[in-house]
Amino acid sequence: MANNYFKFKQFTIHQDKCAMKVGTDGVLIGAWATCENAEKVLDIGTGTGLIALMIAQRSNALIDAIEIDENACEQAQENFHKSIWENRINLIHQSFQDFVHETDKKYDLIVTNPPYFQNSLVAQDDQRTKARHNSELELYDILDGAEKLLSINGTLSIILPYIEGVLFIAKAAEHGLYCVRQTNVIPKPKSPIKRLLLEFQRQKKILVDQDLIIELENRHEYSENYISLTRDFYLFL
């Protein structure tokens, strides 16, 4: 059973009310997304608030964190309140689709670890189903929203499984969003690519394509690149 909290170097994530707990995907995108110069950031599907807090630690941005699930909102608000960045994070309890329709805001960065289990079995717990599957939020809804909400030079950062990521890149181009940075997440040397960290902008650029190996041959023997990416957050690094 997952712990009710996960302690990072500068903040703690309480997660007893959330279906989806702290995981590697959220930490990866929170540490990887380009945010250092962003002034306004949108975190889609904030859940526990992990990514919003990581972005707050890495930047001086004002962050809107949107979440449809009531229990997750309550949890995220608790985690924001207990952090030193509470005054820079605004929690929005609303569906992303409705928010896109109603707002006129523009963002320098839109970041998300979205639901993507499109074809897997539906979880019995409804809250976990919403968190894991795209029944409430289609990946293409994210593109529609990003097309409207990104500033001229804004960036969309997302983490997806390999196949979904490849399809997403092609679909994003139809929305005028082009992949400019791609990091292939590989669990161990010689393993297939498990996740894609993807960054999109409105302007076409030469793609920066890199690999990120998480562990070496032995369990918990982390690669230098993975340590460098996450050392500001994990207590054990």
Written as one letter, the residue type at 169 is I
Pairing relationship of beta strands 5-7 and 12-14 according to DSSP bridges: antiparallel
Q: Which helix (H) or strand (E) holds 107?
A: strand 107-112
Q: Is the pLDDT of residue 63 over 50?
A: yes
Contact 176, 147 (CB under 8 A): yes
Over residues 136-157, the pLDDT tens digits come to 688 889 999 999 999 999 999 9
Q: Which helix (H) or strand (E) holds 154?
A: strand 150-161
Over residues 162-212, the pLDDT tens digits come to 999 999 999 999 999 999 999 999 999 999 999 999 999 999 999 999 999
pLDDT for residue 177? 98
* Band (116; pLDDT cuts 50, 70, 90): low
Structure tokens at 120: 């897997």
pTM of the model: 0.91
Nearest to 77 by CA among 49, 44, 45: 49
Q: Treating both helix axes as pointing N-terminal to C-terminal, what angle do 139-149 and 162-174 enclose, rounded to 10 degrees?
A: 40
Domain 5-230, CATH 3.40.50.150 — does that match?
yes
Percent of the chain surpassing pLDDT 70? 90
Q: Is the pLDDT of residue 218 over 80?
A: yes
Residue 179 or 135, more confident: 179
Q: Is the pLDDT of residue 132 over 70?
A: no
Structure tokens at 44: 């889609």
Helix (H, G, I), strand (E, B) or coil at 199: strand
